[in-house]
Amino acid sequence: MDRNNAPTPTPVCDRLRESGNWNPNWEPFAELDPAWTEKFMAMGITPMVSGVLDAKTIEFISIAVDASCTHMYGPGVRRHIRKALALGATKEEITAVLQCVSVLGIHTMSLAAPILLDELASVSTR
């Protein structure tokens, strides 16, 4: 809220929530400081929406970030693997992304490899 007790507008955060790209773990700091959270999220998504990188590359980067040992956000890994597959990514490409980020910690592979296998199985059964 601002000094007049009016709610702080958060259009970026609102779009992330509506699109299913909101991590519920972000809610506490959005509640504590909605203006800061809005600026942080706007900064974070700018490279993704700028058009400089193609959609599949954005998904590869998102997989790497969410699967990294400093983040380890399984729902995001799953969402971005699913999107990458829908954009034509191969299991070899996604595996290479996971292998690159695994140097940060082997937990990357233990988290994300089973998700990739699950998603590949669900694609083949459709």
pLDDT of residue 3: 60
Q: How far is it, in rounded angstroms, from Cα 94 to Cα 115? A: 11
**Is this prediction's pTM over 0.85?**
no
pLDDT of residue 21: 86
Q: Are 113 and 72 in contact (CB under 8 A)?
A: no
pLDDT of residue 74: 94
Structural domains in the chain, CATH included, are 9-52 (no CATH), 53-126 (1.20.1290)
Percent of the chain with pLDDT over 90: 69
Q: How far is it, in rounded angstroms, from Cα 10 to Cα 6? A: 12
Q: Are 91 and 124 in contact (CB under 8 A)?
A: no
Handedness of CA 41, 8, 28, 77 (dihedral sign): negative
Percent of the chain with pLDDT over 70: 97
Between CA 124 and CA 70, with CA 55 as vertex, the angle to 5 degrees is 85
Q: What's the pLDDT band for 121 if we cut at 50, 70, 90?
A: very high
Q: What's the pLDDT band for 37 if we cut at 50, 70, 90?
A: very high
